[in-house]
């Protein structure tokens, strides 16, 4: 079994990006600028945003964080989005989800200028992605594609099962992996909570990608011998062994599944790190006007 080292791949991409930023500075250009909007005090969201800020610093991007209280109104958040849409110094920005219950995430996402939508959640970017036109691809699927490409995972003619059909992970990933291109040319089955015989379907996969949000749901008997397993799940599990008081685990029962597959992503150290890198890649594209000219 080979561990897919998300940290190593993420570091390699970040090193290349830092070189590119250095060249931009030498050419007298402004460095890419990623802004993040954080509403409320959700601990996981605060951690994700902190990781994004740290990654920006590592590659030399400018980052800015707009923090607002949980009580912020939808109208005020729409104004904050509009402010960032108009700020020429900001190349791309994200509104960290989830939002407080009184704010519609759909309304907020639709208000983001698609040209600055580096999270790739705007309907225009999703639509372009489906049509195989230039688009910002949402960070987690984009990061997984990078992870697969850099790990040399063969996709042509392979049976891929994606477990979980969320708008931000499973559904876009299922579309991207069934493209007619070198790095993503699978026959894809998309599973969800109404799928019959999930165990058998998963056990038929050459490549199994799990984004279910169910702690260690995928056991060894659901995985084919020699399969590639990508675990998107992220769960904070209480732990007395860490300073933070918790440790991260995935949707896959790593200890038993890793004995059976040919390649697997660990949690942490797999998909999560690549998600942040993919966001940086999208921000670089925004700074260079690569998607929408
Ligand atoms: P989500 O919106 O909760 O969707 C979960 C999907 O899994 C749904 O499609 C659901 O089916 C399906 N599902 C749930 N239980 C199932 C079961 N018992 N059998 C079959 N299907 C089942 O999830 P998400 O936002 O995609 O996130 C999934 C996981 O990835 C979470 O742990 C999340 O924290 C993690 N995540 C990680 C990253 C990262 O950067 N590493 C990024 C995003 C998410 P239905 O549609 O029928 O309900």
Domains 28-113 and 139-272 share a fold: yes
pLDDT tens sequence for the chain (293 residues): 999 999 999 999 999 999 999 999 999 999 999 999 999 999 889 999 999 999 999 999 999 999 999 999 999 999 999 999 999 999 999 999 999 999 999 999 999 999 999 999 999 999 999 999 999 999 999 999 999 999 999 999 999 999 999 999 999 999 999 998 888 999 999 999 999 999 999 999 999 999 999 999 999 999 999 999 999 999 999 999 999 899 999 999 999 999 999 999 999 999 999 999 999 999 999 999 999 98
Q: Which among 119, 212, 251, 276 is the best mutation to test ligand 1's pocket, defined by most ligand atoms within 8 Å of the CB?
A: 212
Distances (CA, A) of 70 to 49, 58, 201, 217: 16, 30, 42, 33
Q: Name the 3-class secondary structure at 183.
A: coil
DSSP string, 131-154: TTSS-PPPHHHHHHHHHHHHTT--
Ligand 1: does its nearest atom lie under 6 Å from the Cβ of 279? Answer: no
Per-residue model confidence (pLDDT) at position 184: 92
User: Which tokens in the block code for residue 140?
Assistant: 């987690």
Ligand 1: does its nearest atom lie under 6 Å from the Cβ of 275? Answer: yes
Nearest Cα residue to atom 39 of ligand 1 = 272
So where are the chain's domains?
28-113, 139-272
Per-residue model confidence (pLDDT) at position 102: 98
Q: Name the 3-class secondary structure at 174.
A: helix
Expressed in angstroms and rounded, the spacing between residue 242 Cα and the centre of ligand 1 is 26
Per-residue model confidence (pLDDT) at position 28: 97
Say if domain 28-113 classifies as CATH 3.90.25.10: no
Ligand 1: does its nearest atom lie under 6 Å from the Cβ of 168? Answer: yes
Say which residues have a Cβ less than 8 Å from residue 107's Cβ, sequence separation at least 6.
74, 78
Which atom of ligand 1 is nearest the CA belonging to 271?
A: 41
Q: Which among 211, 218, 236, 254 is the best mutation to test ligand 1's pocket, defined by most ligand atoms within 8 Å of the CB?
A: 211
- Which active-site residues does the annotation give? 52, 96, 119
Distance CA 8, CA 87 (A): 34
Ligand 1: does its nearest atom lie under 6 Å from the Cβ of 99? Answer: no
Expressed in angstroms and rounded, the spacing between residue 212 Cα and the centre of ligand 1 is 3
Distances (CA, A) of 255 to 7, 66, 116: 20, 40, 40
Angle value at C-alpha 213, between 232 and 105, nearest 5 degrees: 95
Number of other residues whose CB lies within 10 A of the CB of residue 269? 16
| CA-wise closest residue to 42 among 81, 92, 96 | 96
Distance CA 279, CA 44 (A): 17
Nearest Cα residue to atom 1 of ligand 1 = 166
Angle value at C-alpha 172, between 171 and 175, nearest 5 degrees: 90
Per-residue model confidence (pLDDT) at position 264: 98
Nearest Cα residue to atom 24 of ligand 1 = 166
**pTM of the predicted protein model:** 0.96
Nearest Cα residue to atom 31 of ligand 1 = 213
Output helix, strand, coil percentages for the chain, rounded to the nearest 5: 40, 20, 40
Expressed in angstroms and rounded, the spacing between residue 249 Cα and the centre of ligand 1 is 14
Tell me if 114 sits within 8 A of 149, measured CB to CB.
Answer: no
CATH T-level assignment (fold) for domain 139-272: Rossmann fold (3.40.50)
Which atom of ligand 1 is nearest the CA belonging to 143?
A: 40
Number of other residues whose CB lies within 10 A of the CB of residue 240? 7
């Amino acid at each position: 079994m080979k561990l897919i080292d998300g940290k190593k791949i993420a570091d390699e991409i970040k090193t290349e990006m830092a070189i590119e930023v250095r060249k931009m500075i030498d050419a007298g250009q402004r460095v890419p600028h990623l802004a993040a909007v954080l509403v409320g005090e959700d601990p996981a969201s605060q951690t994700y945003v902190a990781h994004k800020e740290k990654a920006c610093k590592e590659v030399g991007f400018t980052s800015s964080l707009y923090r607002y209280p949980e009580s912020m109104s939808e109208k005020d958040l729409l104004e904050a989005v509009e402010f960032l849409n108009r700020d020429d110094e900001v190349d791309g920005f994200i509104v960290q989800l989830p939002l407080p219950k009184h704010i519609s995430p759909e309304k907020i996402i639709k208000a983001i200028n698609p040209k600055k939508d580096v999270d790739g959640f705007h309907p225009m970017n999703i639509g372009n992605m489906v049509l195989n036109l230039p688009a910002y691809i949402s960070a987690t699927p984009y990061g997984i594609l990078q992870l697969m490409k850099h790990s040399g995972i063969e996709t042509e003619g392979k049976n891929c099962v994606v477990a979980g059909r969320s708008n931000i992970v499973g559904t876009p990933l299922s579309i991207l992996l069934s493209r007619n291109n070198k790095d993503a040319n699978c026959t894809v089955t998309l599973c969800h909570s109404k799928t019959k015989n999930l165990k058998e379907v998963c056990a038929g996969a050459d490549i199994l990608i799990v984004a279910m949000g169910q702690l260690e749901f995928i056991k060894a008997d659901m995985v084919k011998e020699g399969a590639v397993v990508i675990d998107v799940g992220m769960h904070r599990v209480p732990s007395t062994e860490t300073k933070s008081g918790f440790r991260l685990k995935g949707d896959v029962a790593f200890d038993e599944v890793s004995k059976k597959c040919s390649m697997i992503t660990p949690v942490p150290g797999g998909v999560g790190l690549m998600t942040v890198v993919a966001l940086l890649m999208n921000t670089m594209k925004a700074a260079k006007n690569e998607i929408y000219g």
